[in-house]
Amino acid sequence: MGLELYLDLLSQPCRSIYIFARTNNIPFEFKHVELFKDSVLGKKPAAAASSAERPRTGPSNSEGAGKISLLKKVPALKDGDFTLAECTAILLYLSRKYNTPDHWYPSDIKKRAQVDEYLSWHHANIRANAPKTMWIKVLIPLFTGQPLPSEKLQEVMEGLSTSLKQFEERFLQDKAFIIGSEISLADLVAIVELMQPVGVGCDIFEDRPRLMEWRRRVEEAVGKELFFQAHEMILNIKELSNIQIDPQLKEHLAPVLMKMLK
């Protein structure tokens, strides 16, 4: 039994792992977990969410996903008997095990530190606000039946704006990529997160030419076709709005979702 990656491409961390594995030709079995179909839209309701952005998969149609990770989240990795959660941990594990090219996680300790620094900062900054755009514009209206007041989105966009300013000032600066002339895990993790607001119609690249240039470089570095394939779902997220949801499920989930937004 080879490497298995449990992923839902609607999820940003899942996309970074998917792109990384594919662009480096790492052989793996794609175990598709559909967060919304299996646990949220499916017959089995999701376990109460305790972490900020991601719903737990709970018992899911693909049994493997529920069993392999005690934390019950995607992304998850299974390599023989070894199971692993957390996007950063999975990316680092793959880069080491499969000896991917040095630039992804450089052996130079200062450059490596720059990647670590970004990966750490990313969690509480870009990732604090970017995912909320999807919740506010698509998911919560889907489940509660009504849109949220515009101040909610504005607040989130302001927070994201602040983070983007810091991103440009501290991490990207005048370089081609975060660590310099080559792409690394830092750029990959950043870009997938920023595609979330793009997918729901909040194009944060629109009036940020330097970021837009960086995005183009990242897409080319991983391969444009792969990049767009990975982002197909999120870029067509509006289709999700047309799904009919069981009213009882709606009632059950609405307060949970509102809480998650905070």
Partner 1 sequence: MTRGRTSPCGFWGAAAPSPPVRFGSGGAERSRVGTGRELRVRLRAAARPRPGVCGTERTGRERGSSNMGLELYLDLLSQPCRAVYIFARCNNIPFEFKRVELMKGQHKTEEFRKVNVLMKVPALRDGSFTLAESVAILMYLARKFKTPDHWYPSDLQKQARVDEYLSWQQAHIRGKGSKLFLSKMLIPLLTGQPLPPEKVEGATEELNVVLNQFEEKFLQDRPFIVGNNVSLADLVALVELMQPVASGYNLFEERPKLAEWRRRVEEAVGTQLFQEAHEEILNAKNVTADKIAPELREHFKQQLLKQVN
- Residue with token string 């009504």: 146
Residue 156 interacts with partner 1 (CB under 8 A)? yes
Query: Rounded to the nearest 5 degrees, what angle is found at the Cα of 179, between the Cα atoms of 176 and 181?
Result: 40
Instruction: Name residues whose C-beta falls within 8 Å of residue 257's C-beta, 6 or more positions apart in sequence.
Output: 135, 139, 140, 143, 144
Residue 152 interacts with partner 1 (CB under 8 A)? no
Identity of the residue, 117 or 219, whose beta carbon is nearer to partner 1 in the bound complex: 117
Binding residue (CB under 8 A) for partner 1 from 26, 47, 49, 52: 52
Give the nearest distance from C-beta 93 to partner 1 in angstroms.
4
Identity of the residue, 89 or 243, whose beta carbon is nearer to partner 1 in the bound complex: 89
CA distances from 115 to 88, 91, 112, 190 (A): 11, 12, 5, 11
Binding residue (CB under 8 A) for partner 1 from 37, 45, 47, 86: 86
Candidates 48-56, 59-67, 144-152, 174-182: pick the segment binding partner 1 (CB under 8 A): 48-56
Q: What is the maximum span of the chain, computed from C-alpha positions, in angstroms? A: 55
Please answer whether residues 125 and 166 qualify as being in contact, where contact means their C-beta atoms are separated by less than 8 angstroms.
yes
Binding residue (CB under 8 A) for partner 1 from 30, 43, 149, 158: 158
Residue 102 interacts with partner 1 (CB under 8 A)? no
Please answer whether residues 77 and 86 qualify as being in contact, where contact means their C-beta atoms are separated by less than 8 angstroms.
no
Q: Exposed, middle or buried by CB within 10 Å (0-12, 13-18, 19+), for 37? A: middle
Query: Rounded to the nearest 5 degrees, what angle is found at the Cα of 233, between the Cα atoms of 3 and 171?
Result: 75
Question: Is 106 in a helix, a strand, or coil?
Answer: coil
Binding residue (CB under 8 A) for partner 1 from 1, 2, 25, 109: 109
Binding residue (CB under 8 A) for partner 1 from 97, 210, 224, 238: 97
Binding residue (CB under 8 A) for partner 1 from 24, 62, 88, 229: 88
The residue ranges that bind partner 1 (CB under 8 A) are 50-52, 70-71, 82, 84-90, 92-93, 96-97, 109-110, 112-114, 116-117, 119-121, 123-125, 128-129, 155-163, 165-166, 169-170, 262
